[in-house]
Each structure stands twice: as structure tokens, then as C-alpha cells.
């Protein structure tokens, strides 16, 4: 009986790795993060489900749906193409009280510029103020964000709070407040196909390492995060995609370093579940006893409303933002690909005029110099001062 010769031992060994063929890092499958615990484990964000009293969340949803009729689709030049955002957006400012907690002050000039920046430099009217129901929600959200901020380690370039000798908006009401939502940007995604592409938020008025509180109302959508891998790790690991289902009345807090290390998107979906508001539209009261058949007033909706509450830092006030040679406020971005000790330390200003100027910018470019530009106080400055005082005792 013919026998086949045993395979040589050499044929069973893998060839030695060639210096030319570098093995690519393994692609990681997307990970779904449907619970607050999982979100905290894998990302610099925290998720809070049922953040507002249900009746307030529902009333805010109806108010913002009505407001959304006036919102715009952003338009900007991307290279040589004029593109339009696949969702509608609105920008709001919050009335602040002066240092004595008395007269309400509205620095319209500054906020108008900030609103124009939100619309990619397009001329816009003065932004609207928070509607009363949004103010009510904001007070609750602000308290939760400040509680979280007090628990988390902070980054050196984060805002350290008002210096003791400086008057602060809202007087006494602000004691212990590190983060105050003074503006809000709102988005409406109608149907499964409306979306926002991958981006990180411009830091122009937020400054480095901002905290952004993002409230979801209406239909559930996926909020997707993906890390930007630093250049020196590109051959070592691949980014993972994280999918967070953001349900009605959930708050996703994007803590410091989310904008520096990750990009985020709300992608188009094949389908969505319609949202059935838990209360009828009419007000007041919201109680079901007010109507013989409240079901008749409840219309299912295919919209998701998102409100991002933001703290525009006093040391990044519109009057302090460098202008490029085109004469418009520069945009501030983190140098995401270069990280040292796991941290982005470098940020730069660059010309933003191309967004409205047929894609042509003036090439203006400048590294952010916190001290040189007179900004702060930052967490790192305060910590360094305390350390110095302790060593000199
Ligand atoms: O709708 C969302 O959850 C995200 C919105 C967003 O990324 C933005 O407004 O910058
Ligand atoms: Fe964003």
C-alpha cells in the first residue's frame, strides 16, 4: 500500500515574519453600552437615565418640537462643496444675573457672535433665551453635573472657577458651582435618516477639556463614540466604536477629555421606534383626569430632540478670541493625534472663514498659549500655587 511521506517539520512551521510585512493591529468589533455602568467603564462619559421628572421631560419635548420649526440646517463649505447638515439646529443663551444677584444682564454682543459661530459663521439674528421650561430642566442638570465634577479627577487646563476677588454671575446662588450652563445648542433629528457626522466640538468658547451635558428627548437613537488613536500608537492598536442608545429623558455627560480623545456622531439608522409621549400635549394640567380621552391628544413622534447644555468659559469670552487675517473668530481645536502621558497638551487656533468663503481660508494658525493670552485660572495653576505655598511653609 503506497504511503504518503510525512510532511516535513519545516512545512508545518510558519515562515519567519518578514521585515516588510508588519502585522496590522486587530480590528475591534463595535461595543454596545446600554447601561450607565458600561458607559463609565469604557468612555469618559456618564449616562443618567430618567434625569428629569417625567412630566417636565415631556413638556420640554413638546416645547422644543415647536421651537424646532424655526431652527436651521447649518450650511458650510467642505473643500469645494457647499454642504448642509442632515438635521436642524438652534442656539440659545441663558440670562445671567449680575454679581449682586440683582439685575439680569444679557451681553448680547458677545452671544450674538457665539451664535454666529455655531452657524459656521453665517449671519444670524441675536439668539433666543432659554424658554422657561428649559430653564427649569437646566437647574436640575446643572446640579447633577456639578456633583459629578466634584467627584472626578480634573485635568490641568480645566476651568478652576472664579478667582475669589472676581465678581461672579448670579452672586450667592453660584457658591460651589464649577460649571454653569450659560448657552445651549439644540438639534432635531426627524426620522431615521437624519443624523450628525463624526466630529469633536469646537473649543473656541468652551476652552480645553470642557464638560458638555447632552439631554435626549423623544425617539431613541444611537450616540456613537470612536477614539482617535495617537500617531505613535497607530501600529499598535485600532480604535473601538462604542454605541450608546440615548433614550427619552436621558442625560449623557461628556466629561473632560471626550472632545480631546474621541469623535462622536448620531448615525442614520435603518429604522427607529416611534416615541409615544407619556402625557398629552395640552397644558395645564398634565393629569389624565383633565380629559375624557387623553389618548386622542397623544401623537406618536419620529423626532429626537437633543439639547447640549454648555459652559462658555469667561476666559474664552468672544471679546478674547483671536481673529484670523479674514477678520473672523478663529476656531480652537485639540491636537488629538499627539498625546503625552495620555493627555493632549497642545491646542491650536486656526482660520475658520473657509466654512463660508467657498472653502478658502487665510492659513492663519497659532498654538494656544493659556498664560500668554491671559486666560485662566485653570485647575493646574491653582494646584501649582497650593503646592508652592505648602513647600514654602
Ligand atoms: O445629538 C446629539 O446627541 C449630538 C449633538 C452634537 O454632537 C452636537 O450638537 O455637537
Ligand atoms: Fe457634538
The residues, ordered by sequence, that sit 6+ positions from 109 with a Cβ below 8 Å of its Cβ are 318
Ligand 1: distance of its center to the CA of 213 in Å?
A: 10
Region of residue 120 (left: phi > 0; alpha: psi -120 to 50; beta: else): left
ipTM exceeding cut-off 0.85 for this assembly: yes
What are 318's three cell numbers? 468672544
CA-to-CA separations, 10 to 3, 13, 15, 20, 21, in angstroms, rounded? 20, 5, 9, 22, 21
Q: Which ligand is nearest to the CA of 224?
A: 1
Residue 200 CB–ligand 1 contact under 6 Å: no
Q: pTM of the predicted model, to two decimals?
A: 0.89
CA-to-CA separations, 38 to 32, 35, 41, 94, in angstroms, rounded? 9, 5, 5, 33
The Cα–Cα gap between 380 and 256 comes to 14
- pLDDT in single tens digits along all 393 residues of the chain: 444 444 454 445 555 555 555 678 998 999 999 999 999 999 999 999 999 999 999 999 999 999 999 999 988 888 888 888 999 999 999 987 655 544 455 555 688 889 988 888 888 888 999 999 999 999 999 999 999 999 999 999 999 988 766 667 765 556 668 899 999 999 999 999 999 999 999 999 999 999 999 999 999 999 999 999 999 999 999 999 999 999 999 999 999 999 999 999 999 999 999 999 999 997 554 444 444 555 567 899 999 999 999 999 999 999 999 999 999 999 999 999 999 988 999 999 999 988 888 888 899 999 999 999 999 999 999 888 888 888 876
Q: CA nearest 341: which of 148, 156, 151?
A: 156
Ligand 2: distance of its center to the CA of 197 in Å?
A: 9
Residue 252 CB–ligand 1 contact under 6 Å: no
Residue 206 CB–ligand 1 contact under 6 Å: no
For 141-152, the pLDDT digits (tens) are 999 999 999 999
The Cα–Cα gap between 205 and 191 comes to 31
Cβ 352 vs Cβ 331: under 8 Å: yes
Residue 220 CB–ligand 1 contact under 6 Å: no
Residue 96 CB–ligand 1 contact under 6 Å: no
Phi first, then psi: give them for residue 315, nearest 5 degrees.
-85, 5
Residue 74 CB–ligand 1 contact under 6 Å: no
Q: What number does the ligand 1 atom closest to the CA of 265 have?
A: 7
Work out the widest C-alpha separation in the chain, in whole angstroms. 105
The Cα–Cα gap between 236 and 72 comes to 42
Q: CA nearest 222: which of 27, 29, 31, 28?
A: 31
> DSSP character for 119?
T
Query: Is 299 in a helix, a strand, or coil?
Result: coil
Q: Which ligand is nearest to the CA of 74?
A: 1
Residue 219 CB coordination number (10 Å): 24
Query: Is 372 in a helix, a strand, or coil?
Result: coil
**Block residue for cell numbers 454648555:** 310
Ligand 2: distance of its center to the CA of 387 in Å?
A: 36
Residue 45 CB–ligand 1 contact under 6 Å: no
Residue 285 CB coordination number (10 Å): 11
Q: CA nearest 147: which of 58, 35, 251, 41?
A: 251
Q: Which segments of the chain does DSSP mark as H helices, in order?
A: 9-12, 36-42, 54-67, 108-118, 132-151, 258-261, 379-391
The Cα–Cα gap between 353 and 366 comes to 15
Q: What number does the ligand 1 atom closest to the CA of 223 have?
A: 3
Query: CATH homologous superfamily of domain 31-96+106-162+178-278+299-323+366-391?
Result: Alpha-ketoglutarate-dependent dioxygenase AlkB-like (2.60.120.590)
For 241-250, the pLDDT digits (tens) are 999 999 999 9
Cβ 100 vs Cβ 169: under 8 Å: no
Residue 132 CB coordination number (10 Å): 9
Ligand 1: distance of its center to the CA of 127 in Å?
A: 18
Amino acid at each position: 500500500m503506497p504511503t504518503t511521506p510525512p510532511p516535513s517539520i519545516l512545512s508545518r512551521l510558519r515562515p519567519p515574519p518578514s521585515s516588510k510585512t508588519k502585522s496590522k493591529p486587530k480590528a475591534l468589533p463595535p461595543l454596545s453600552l446600554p447601561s450607565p455602568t458600561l458607559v463609565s467603564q469604557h468612555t469618559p462619559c456618564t449616562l443618567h437615565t430618567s434625569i428629569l421628572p417625567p412630566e417636565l421631560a415631556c413638556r420640554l419635548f413638546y416645547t422644543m418640537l415647536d421651537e424646532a420649526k424655526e431652527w436651521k440646517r447649518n450650511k458650510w463649505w467642505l473643500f469645494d462643496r457647499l454642504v448642509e447638515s442632515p438635521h436642524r439646529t438652534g442656539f440659545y443663551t441663558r440670562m445671567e444675573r449680575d454679581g449682586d444677584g440683582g439685575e439680569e444682564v444679557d451681553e448680547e454682543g458677545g452671544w450674538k457672535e457665539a451664535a454666529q459661530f455655531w452657524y459656521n459663521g453665517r449671519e444670524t439674528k441675536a439668539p433666543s433665551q432659554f424658554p422657561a421650561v428649559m430653564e427649569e430642566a437646566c437647574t436640575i442638570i446643572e446640579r447633577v453635573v456639578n456633583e459629578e465634577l466634584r467627584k472626578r479627577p480634573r485635568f490641568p487646563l480645566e476651568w478652576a472657577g472664579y478667582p475669589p476677588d472676581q465678581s461672579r454671575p448670579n452672586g450667592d446662588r453660584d457658591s460651589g458651582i464649577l460649571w454653569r450652563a450659560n448657552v445651549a445648542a439644540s438639534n432635531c433629528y426627524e426620522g431615521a435618516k437624519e443624523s450628525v457626522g463624526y466630529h469633536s466640538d469646537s473649543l473656541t468658547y468652551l476652552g480645553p477639556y470642557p464638560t458638555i451635558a447632552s439631554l435626549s428627548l423623544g425617539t431613541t437613537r444611537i450616540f456613537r463614540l470612536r477614539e482617535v488613536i495617537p500617531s505613535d500608537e497607530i501600529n499598535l492598536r485600532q480604535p473601538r466604536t462604542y454605541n450608546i442608545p440615548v433614550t427619552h429623558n436621558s442625560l449623557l455627560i461628556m466629561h473632560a477629555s471626550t472632545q480631546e480623545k474621541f469623535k462622536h456622531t448620531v448615525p442614520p439608522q435603518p429604522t427607529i421606534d416611534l416615541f409615544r409621549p407619556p402625557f398629552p400635549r395640552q397644558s395645564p394640567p398634565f393629569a389624565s383626569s383633565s380629559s375624557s380621552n387623553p389618548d386622542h391628544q397623544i401623537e406618536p413622534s419620529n423626532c429626537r430632540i437633543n439639547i447640549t447644555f454648555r459652559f462658555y468659559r469667561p476666559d474664552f469670552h468672544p471679546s478674547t478670541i483671536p481673529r484670523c487675517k479674514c477678520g473672523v473668530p478663529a476656531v480652537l481645536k485639540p491636537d488629538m493625534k499627539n498625546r503625552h502621558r495620555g493627555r493632549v497638551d497642545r491646542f491650536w487656533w486656526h482660520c475658520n472663514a473657509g466654512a463660508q468663503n467657498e472653502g478658502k481660508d487665510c492659513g492663519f494658525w497659532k498654538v494656544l498659549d493659556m498664560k500668554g493670552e491671559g486666560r485662566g485660572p485653570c485647575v493646574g495653576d491653582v494646584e501649582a500655587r497650593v503646592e508652592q505655598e505648602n513647600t514654602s511653609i
